[in-house]
Amino acid sequence: MEQQYIDLYKEHHESIKKHSAEVMNELRDNSFAQFEKLRFPTVMLENYKYSDLKTPLAIDYGLNINRIPIPVNPYDVFKCDVPGINSYLFFVVNDAFYPVNEPRNKKLPKGVIIGSINEVASSHPELLKDYYGKLSKTKNDGLVAFNGAFAQDGFFMYVPKNVVLDKPIQLVNIMRSDVNFMANSHNLIILEEGAKAQFLICDHTVDDVNFLSNRVTEVFVGENATYEHYKLENTHTKTTNLSTLLIDQRASSNVTANVITLHNGITRNTIEIDLDGEHCETLLCGMVIGDKNQQVDNFTSIIHNKPNCNSRELFKYVLDDLSKGGFTGKLYVAKDAQKTSAFQTNRNILLNKTAKMRTKPQLEIYADDVKCSHGATIGQLDETAKFYMQSRGISESEARLLLMFAFTNDVIENIRIPALQDRIKLLVEKRLRGELSKCEGCVICQ
């Protein structure tokens, strides 16, 4: 399985390098050597116990090594903009930044840089030099190493010191291809001291072919900075989404990350948050609504390296049909991270006999003055609550819906962009009602 990619790299690494920035190439050979050693992760690895990637990785994908532009107008294929959201809008098609002429983007505050890694490599090489690969290169992970070897571009965002973005940055990631396609991208987001930004990334697929997206996103949140990250996945069942989100938090920073999977094929989210300064606040949330034979595995890890930090984690799953859910919540408190408080909750509802849920909280604590807890439940809807509603004339299906809606609501409540919150409420409701949750523009998702 890996061999074809190893051969591909050996044969074509010159052209891979030719079409990407110097800063990416610097780490490329190293990443490749690492991948040769690690290979693709299998369920035998403790961290991938609940992600069986054998089937999707066995598919023969095409790679766009020579960066041939794909003819697409994102406005044609993408219509399900979150209505009412007032954002700065950007597009990425497959793994290439798509330059659009959005009038609203002209009002970006001064000093904010948004573009592709390749563009920024020529305009602001010093920024990339300091940050690119800083978090990913030490990860001992086959997928990250593979990304390092094959990624040729990615999204870049820089918010300078004390700049507050008035509107969210919205990045729409569209997968478009006529043949089975694999995209590797490496995104970089930097918030300087005191900066503030909201970032929303939506994943969409257009064509009825197999897609595999292997994305690594590195986020650096400076002192006193506030960063909100929302990931909304609404792709079709032939999509494999492998995403690694690495966040580094400095002192007194505040990070909210929200990962929502509404419709997908196979998803593996690795989220790793390092708290590298005192008084950090972290809120990590996630929600999955799965049916058919969808698979979602969220592997999260919050690492408390410094004292006096707070973290909260909340993940909720509703699983139906043959869907499979996986959750790992690693919580690591280093020796000196005293006065840590860390709470984790994972609740899951199985709607039928064939749905499967695997959950594995994991607390590793080396400091003594801490407050840490986690709770995990797998169960069904509350029968008495359902009965209560039925006895008051609410139909059974409606009662079920209400309960499920209430169940997911506390994740949705943590979304701090009102328009997005409304939109997700609507999507969830449609999804739970079994109506088509596809976006209007999507051709095949059903």
Interface residues with another protein (CB under 8 A) are 46, 335, 338, 348, 350-380
Least Å from the CB of residue 303 to another protein: 14
Give the integer Cα–Cα distance in Å for 115 and 97: 7
55 phi/psi in degrees, rounded to 5: -65, -55
Which residue's CB is nearer to another protein, number 52 or number 422? Answer: 52
Beta strands in 222-323 (DSSP E): 226-234, 239-249, 254-263, 266-275, 281-290, 295-304, 310-319
Which residue's CB is nearer to another protein, number 149 or number 303? Answer: 303
125 phi/psi in degrees, rounded to 5: -60, -30
Least Å from the CB of residue 49 to another protein: 8
Read out DSSP for 88-150? Answer: EEEEEETTEEE----GGGGGPPTT-EEEEHHHHHHH-HHHHHHHTTTTTTT---HHHHHHHHH
Which has the closest alpha carbon to 113: 152, 169, 166, 74? 169
Which residue's CB is nearer to another protein, number 17 or number 339? Answer: 339
Which has the closest alpha carbon to 21: 179, 171, 188, 138? 188
Least Å from the CB of residue 369 to another protein: 6
Rg (CA), the chain: 21
Using DSSP's 3-state secondary structure scheme, residue 304 falls into: strand
Phi-psi region of 155 (alpha: psi -120 to 50; beta: other; left: phi over 0): beta
Tokens standing for residue 234: 């609404």
Least Å from the CB of residue 315 to another protein: 13
Least Å from the CB of residue 291 to another protein: 13
Which residue's CB is nearer to another protein, number 81 or number 291? Answer: 291
Q: Report the alpha-carbon angle 319-323-325, nearest 5.
A: 70
Which residue's CB is nearer to another protein, number 21 or number 296? Answer: 296
Least Å from the CB of residue 125 to another protein: 43
DSSP for residue 62: B
Least Å from the CB of residue 251 to another protein: 22
Query: How many other CB atoms are there within 10 angstroms of residue 102's CB atom?
Result: 14
Give the integer Cα–Cα distance in Å for 145 and 134: 13
Which residue's CB is nearer to another protein, number 77 or number 288? Answer: 288
Least Å from the CB of residue 309 to another protein: 15
Q: Which residues pair with 142 in a beta bridge?
A: none
Read out DSSP for 214-239? Answer: EEEEEEEE-TT-EEEEEEEEE--TTE
The CA-based dihedral angle spanning residues 51, 57, 58, 60, taken in that order and rounded to the nearest 10 degrees: 160
User: Is the Cβ–Cβ distance between 258 and 229 less than 8 Å?
Assistant: yes
Which residue's CB is nearer to another protein, number 39 or number 358? Answer: 358
Least Å from the CB of residue 198 to another protein: 33
Least Å from the CB of residue 363 to another protein: 4
Which residue's CB is nearer to another protein, number 27 or number 275? Answer: 275
Least Å from the CB of residue 358 to another protein: 5
Which residue's CB is nearer to another protein, number 378 or number 389? Answer: 378
Which residue's CB is nearer to another protein, number 30 or number 362? Answer: 362
364 phi/psi in degrees, rounded to 5: -125, 115
Which residue's CB is nearer to another protein, number 173 or number 305? Answer: 305
